[in-house]
Structure 1
Amino acid sequence: MQQVYQYFVLRNVSYGKYSTKYGCDYQLTATTMHHTDRGCTESMLLSTGNSVQHGAGKRDGDEDQSQVTVTSFTMQVAGHVYGKKDKKQGRLGMLHLGAGLILKALQDPPRGTRELQFYQRVFSPTNTDEVTMALRRFMPAYHGTMEFDGVGFLKLENIVEHYTQPCIADVKMGKVTSDPHATPEKAAYEKSKCPSAAILGFQISGMMIYQPDTGQYERVDKIAGHKLTTDNMISEGIGKFFGYPKAIRKDVIEILLSKLLDLQYWFSSQRQYSFYGSSLLIVYEAFICDKDTSSGQSSSSSQSKTCNTTVSPTSKNQGSSESNCQSATCSETLPKIDVRMIDFAHVFPTPVEDSNYLDGLTNLIQHLRLLLEFES
Structure 2
Amino acid sequence: MTEDGLLCPPINQVAGHSATGGNIGPLVDKAGRFYKPLQNNQRGQNEVEFYKKFWADQTIPPIVQDLFPRFYGTTSVQTSDETGMCEYAVIEDLTYHFPHPSVIDIKMGSRTWYPGATDEYIKKCLDKDRETTSALLGFRISGLQVYETATKTTWKPDKKWCKELSTEGVRLALKRFVSTNPFSETDPDGSLASIINGDPGGVLSQLLDLKAWFEEQTCFHFSSASVLLIYEGDSTSITEDAHRSGVSVKLIDFAHVIDGQNIIDHNFLGGLCSLIKVISQIMADLGMKLPKESLLTT
TM-score, structure 1 normalization:
0.66
Mapped to 1, the partners of 2:67 and 2:278 lie a distance apart of 21
Query: What runs of 5+ residues in structure 2 fail to find an aligned partner?
Result: 78-83, 180-186, 288-298
CA deviation after TM superposition for structure 1 residue 333, in Å: 8.0
Maintained 8 Å contact 1:79/1:93: no
CA deviation after TM superposition for structure 1 residue 144, in Å: 1.3
Paired residues, what number?
Answer: 267
**Partner residue, 2:175:** 239
Q: In 2 relative to 1, CA 352–343 (structure 1 residues): closer, same or farther, beyond 3 Å?
A: same
- Structure 1 segment 193-342 matched on structure 2, within 5 A: 193-195=128-130, 196-235=133-172, 237-243=173-179, 245-249=188-192, 250-254=194-198, 255-289=202-236, 295=240, 334-342=244-252
Identical positions, percent? 29
SS at match of 1:289: helix
**Partner residue, 2:296:** none
CA deviation after TM superposition for structure 1 residue 295, in Å: 4.4
CA deviation after TM superposition for structure 1 residue 68, in Å: 6.4
Q: In 2 relative to 1, CA 208–333 (structure 1 residues): closer, same or farther, beyond 3 Å?
A: closer
After superposition, give the CA deviation of every residue in 1:268-290 in whole Å (9 maximum; x if it has no partner): 00111101110011101121338
Q: In 2 relative to 1, CA 132–183 (structure 1 residues): closer, same or farther, beyond 3 Å?
A: farther
Mapped to 2, the partners of 1:334 and 1:131 lie a distance apart of 25
Q: Does 1:162 align with 2:162?
A: no
Runs of 4+ that moved beyond 4 A: 132-135
How large is the Cα RMSD of the aligned pairs?
2.2
CA deviation after TM superposition for structure 1 residue 210, in Å: 0.9
After superposition, give the CA deviation of every residue in 1:136-187 in whole Å (9 maximum; x if it has no partner): 2211101111102331111111111111211011110000111112223322
CA deviation after TM superposition for structure 1 residue 71, in Å: 1.4
CA deviation after TM superposition for structure 1 residue 248, in Å: 2.9
Query: What runs of 5+ residues in structure 1 fail to find an aligned partner?
Result: 1-43, 47-66, 297-331
Q: Does 1:373 align with 2:284?
A: yes
**Partner residue, 2:292:** none
CA deviation after TM superposition for structure 1 residue 133, in Å: 6.8
- Structure 1 segment 7-18 matched on structure 2, within 5 A: none
Mapped to 2, the partners of 1:333 and 1:132 lie a distance apart of 19
CA deviation after TM superposition for structure 1 residue 245, in Å: 2.8
Work out which of the two has the higher radius of gyration on C-alpha atoms and give 1 or 2. Answer: 1
